Copies of this chain bind each other. A is one copy, B any other.
Amino acid sequence: MTDTTRRRGRRPAGEDARAEIVAAARAEFAARGFDGATLRGIARAAGVDPRLVHHYFENGKEDLFIAAFQFPARPADVIPVVFGPGIDGVGERLVRFFFGVWDTPPGREMMLGLVRSAATSEQAAAMIRQFVTRTILARAADVLPGGDAELRVELAVAQMVGVAFLRYVIRVEPLASADLEDLVPLLAPTVQRYLAGE
């Protein structure tokens, strides 16, 4: 069982401890970055035993970061779904996943928060950079062909981040009102080319 949220609602005392761990994690990540924060330090700040942190967050720091910043999905779950079926169609699967997050209100709120934080705080940018590097780029480079896989993943992500910036932040037309189904055939081939190294 990897979805620790299933334990919710059954142990109110535990739920309080979990909330304190998440609050401590948020503060520790903000102060020390993703690389600098430790499970031990987060446990200490929350006033709990490190084993309790492991109990709630089996995947350690990565799951804590996701809970602290309310990510709607875990890279550990998403990457097998997007990359698992092979290189065929990976562009379309990634575009649909990325904009699927933006198209839910909590997902969009979270993503806009990340963009705002990164744009205005070097500390937040460093935290996001470290998280993306350790969890997304490292995994994607493992499953993609070619030696410059990390750079190509970044260019693919850049295409989607740029579209999100113009569509949801600047809100320039016609992109802001375009139907996602009209964007997928335009964006998926670009993302596919980068990921396949074409």
A residues with a Cβ closer than 8 A to B are 115-116, 118-120, 125, 128-129, 132-133, 137, 148, 150-152, 154-155, 157-163, 165-166, 169-175, 178, 186-187, 190, 193-194
Given A115-B119, A116-B119, A178-B151, also A128-B161 (CB < 8 A): no
Residue of B nearest to A152 (CB): B186
Task: Report A15 CB to chain B, min CB distance, Å.
Answer: 34
A163-B162, A165-B161 in contact; A155/B170 too (CB < 8 A)?
no
Q: Shortest distance in angstroms between A75's beta carbon and chain B's nearest beta carbon?
A: 14
- Extra 16 A-B pairs, beta carbons < 8 Å, given A118-B165, A129-B172, A165-B165: A116-B119, A119-B119, A119-B169, A125-B171, A128-B170, A129-B171, A132-B170, A133-B172, A155-B163, A155-B175, A155-B190, A158-B165, A159-B190, A160-B162, A186-B194, A190-B190
Distance in angstroms from A111 CB to nearest chain B CB is 11
- Of chain B, the residue at the smallest CB distance from A178 is B151
Chain B residues near A190: list those with CB within 8 A. 155, 159, 190, 193
